Structure 1
Amino acid sequence: MSDFKLPHDHGENLDTRFDHMPKLEDFQTASDIFKLLDDSNRIRIFWILCHCEECVINLSAIMGMSSPALSHHLKFLKTSGLIVSHREGKEVYYKAAETPQADLMHKTIERLIEISCPLT
């Protein structure tokens, strides 16, 4: 980007300031992940799954919502890669993914709402 010339010269040296700027696609990925935070129920579900593995029926009881409503949120979280699932018989169990993205999201949520993780 060092060849880039801004329309207004404010006397700043911009030769290398933006050389390491992430690609537009990287910003879109971050935006897509933050879109998951637009629902307090989804944040709460994710927070719970950061602390335990749970089935849909128990999560529904914890959340006080129907299984279909809960499944809608789980689909968003799973598609994003923040949670994973596995089946045992008829039950499907969910937990937070063991990825840097899920860990950062967990820490971000806790930091934003200033709660302490009981497992750390």
Structure 2
Amino acid sequence: MSKIKKSVYGFLRGSFLTDESAFKNWRIIIFVVGLLLVMISSSHKSDQKVIKIAELNKLKRELRAEYIDTGTILMRMKMESSIREKAISRGLRPSETPPKKIKVTYKDN
């Protein structure tokens, strides 16, 4: 066998893990596995944050729509015509005499 075939065959058999220099190889493999675990964990956490942001944006849109609806209802309730109708239903009616202005004067002693 040629040298290249032997090295490929040895790699496929896993002889790089059982050689006399295997300790150095195991350290590198464990380091790479640790980095992969950190990368996977980071990816999952970022995905969770993206999902949380999407949920919060949806909630924000819903609350904004509710705020606008409530403001519209309040504006309708504050209209003079609706107040007048409610006052009439309670037995109140507009005054027939105009209001009088009251003037207060102070005298210096």
Same fold, TM-score > 0.5, yes or no: no
Highest Rg: 1 or 2?
2
Greater share of helix:
2
Shorter-normalised TM range: under 0.3
More strand by share: 1
